[in-house]
Amino acid sequence: MTAAVIAIDGPSGSGKGTLAEALARRLGWRLLDSGALYRSVALAAAQRKVGFDDEAGLADIARQLGIEFRPGDAGIAVRLDGQDVTLQIRAESVSANASRVAALWAVRKALLERQRGFRCEPGLVADGRDMGTVVFPDAQLKVFLEASPEERAARRHKQLIDKGLGGSLRGLLVGIRERDERDRQRVESPLVPAQDAVVIDSTALGIDAVEQRVWQLIEARGLS
């Protein structure tokens, strides 16, 4: 028997990262923040001056990159070849570049087995865009979290301010719309709910209400 997986997919700012982290903590399961992998590839590519149209070069980075996730008091710290990049990978320029590298088939392929390698007992909570459709199609529970672009931009704005990073609300909304478009329209693993996903719109729901709803699903499926 392979370990259980809960897949949490959805666009940026839908609250899936916060939800996935809360569920992993509550269940005592491992957490996979797959967006951080794409962000790390984008950051390393910029640092190494590998072009965003160089698919083979970007796939090499995705294959070889030394990425480590370390759970800490303030969430999960991300280290890239020994360097702490937790804050750096959240910058808006990295968000935009991550969605560009994520559209490339060779990069997605290079990250596929890496992501599957996170699956372990007692279970994995996996957060991303294609966790339920491509990476873990056999997940025991698939949640697709939605929210309006305006609400997501406002949430991202607050997150950045809290982290001491800047960004205009208007600029964030434009960036979110562009990324949504790229993530939803791409040929490789587009952002769509899996057929068997439970879709939840979090626009008017607080994170606690969303967590409560998902927890009921977890209990109903005997995963807690």
| Chain residues that interact with ligand C5P, rule: CB under 6 A | 12, 34-35, 38-39, 95, 98-99, 102, 128-130, 179, 183
Residue 1 vs 162, nearer CB to ligand C5P: 162
Percentage helix, strand, coil, to 5, in the chain? 50, 20, 35
Shortest Å distance, C-beta 168 to ligand C5P: 18
Shortest Å distance, C-beta 183 to ligand C5P: 5
Here the tokens at position 195 are 């057929």
Residue 199 vs 220, nearer CB to ligand C5P: 199
Residue 129 vs 142, nearer CB to ligand C5P: 129
Residue closest to ligand C5P, measured at CB: 35
- What's the rounded Cα separation, in Å, for the pair 75 and 5? 20
Identify the H or E element spanning 41. Answer: helix 34-47
Shortest Å distance, C-beta 220 to ligand C5P: 25
Shortest Å distance, C-beta 76 to ligand C5P: 12
Shortest Å distance, C-beta 127 to ligand C5P: 7
Beta strands at 83-84 and 75-80: parallel, antiparallel or unpaired: antiparallel
Measuring CA to CA, how many Å separate 170 from each of 79, 148, 157, 175?
A: 31, 14, 10, 9
Residue 86 vs 99, nearer CB to ligand C5P: 99
Q: Across 11-164, where does the E strand assignment appear? A: 30-33, 67-72, 75-80, 83-84, 123-128, 141-146
In residues, how long is the chain? 224
Here the tokens at position 144 are 């697709």
Contact call for residues 7 and 134 (beta carbons, < 8 A)? no
Contact call for residues 159 and 166 (beta carbons, < 8 A)? no
Residue 27 vs 41, nearer CB to ligand C5P: 41
Shortest Å distance, C-beta 215 to ligand C5P: 22
Residue 43 vs 98, nearer CB to ligand C5P: 98
